[in-house]
Each structure stands twice: as C-alpha cells, then as structure tokens.
Amino acid sequence: MRHKLYNILIVIAFLAFSGCALKKPVQQKSTFIILKTPEIRYADMGFVSEYPDSIKVQIYSNAQPVVSLDMYKDRICMSQFECMNKSGFYRKIFHVLYPDDTLEQIFLSKPIFGGENLIKTGNGFTQNITKQDQYSISYEISDGKVEFHDKINQIIIKVKEQ
C-alpha cells in the first residue's frame, strides 16, 4: 500500500512540474484587431501570441475575451466554431482558394500567397493579388500595422501594434 501511494505521489509531482506547465509564447504583441468577414465581425484590443507550433489571436472587449483563434499546422480552432482542418475553415470563414497559411502570415506580418506581386517599401511591403471573379486582395505591412482587404469577398483584417 505504501509503495502504491509513493508511485501516485511521484506521478502527481511529475505532472505538476512538467506536463501541466503552460507554454510560454516566443513573442506576444498587444494589438488593436479588426476581423471582418461575411461570417464574423470583431474590432477591439487583443493579443497575437506566437508559439513554436501555433499562433493564438485573442480579441477582448471590456477586459473580457470575446474571441480566441488558435492556428496550428493542420487545423484552426475558433471559440465560436469547432476546430476545423484548414481547408474547411477557409471554405467556411474566408475563401476556399486562399493558401492554407494565409491567416498565419497576416498575423505574423509576412508576405502571403508565396510573396506574389511583392513590392518592398521603405518600412514594409505591399501586395496586390487578383484572380478574376474570385478575389481582389490589397495587403500592406508598414510601421507595425497590417492591412488586408479582399474587395470581392468583403474580408478586412487590420492589426495595429499598440
């Protein structure tokens, strides 16, 4: 009996000090976020946290979290929807023809669509990407500000570091 209790205590101690430890972000930015699609609309302060294996976007209103968006290599989880594989998420929320890493690239302030039509500016870059009757995207990164606008699909994402 004493040996069994000892083993249980070792397992509890191991979980308390390692397995249940919270992951710390590689980078975390306080931001003002606008996320507008035909399906969802949010605009408020939030955080963009980059982890080694994921990106987490949280939007707050009145100091309460109203939306959480977790982006992993193979899926995207949003507090209002169940976790979906990336193609299912893009089909439902954004556009089925966007590359699966588009949302991550936007929140990381990196080029989208493999750098297509990239024009470097003094303090960032711009991209204008069009596929007739599918999407018309203007994307700009400058001075801690990200602006993504798809005119055809009425999608706006703006992220401004605070």
What's the pLDDT at 1?
A: 56
| The one-letter amino acid at 30 | S
The reported pTM is 0.82
Domain map of the chain by residue range?
Answer: 23-161
| Percent of the chain whose predicted confidence (pLDDT) is above 90 | 66
Instruction: Give the model's confidence band at 93: pLDDT under 50 very low, under 70 low, under 90 confident, else very high.
Output: confident
What's the pLDDT at 107?
A: 95
Q: Identify the H or E element spanning 90.
A: helix 86-93
| Percent of the chain whose predicted confidence (pLDDT) is above 70 | 86
Main-chain phi, psi angles of 115, to 5 degrees: 85, 15
Main-chain phi, psi angles of 73, to 5 degrees: -60, -40
8 A C-beta contact, residue 120 and residue 126: no
Instruction: Give the model's confidence band at 148: pLDDT under 50 very low, under 70 low, under 90 confident, else very high.
Output: very high
What's the pLDDT at 95?
A: 86
Sign for the CA dihedral angle at 67, 23, 53, 144 comes to: positive
What's the pLDDT at 57?
A: 95
Q: What is the mean pLDDT of the chain?
A: 87
Digit-coded pLDDT (tens) for 43-82: 999 999 999 999 999 999 888 888 999 999 999 998 877 8
Digit-coded pLDDT (tens) for 17-31: 444 445 678 889 999
Q: Which residues contact 138 (CB under 8 A, 6 or more apart)?
A: 126, 127, 128, 147, 148, 149, 151
Sign for the CA dihedral angle at 149, 52, 79, 57 comes to: negative
Picking from 37, 19, 17, 13, the residue whose alpha carbon sits closest to that of residue 149 is 37
Architecture of the domain defined by 23-161: Clam (2.50)
What's the pLDDT at 25?
A: 81
User: From CA 23, how far away is CA 82, in angstroms rounded?
Assistant: 22
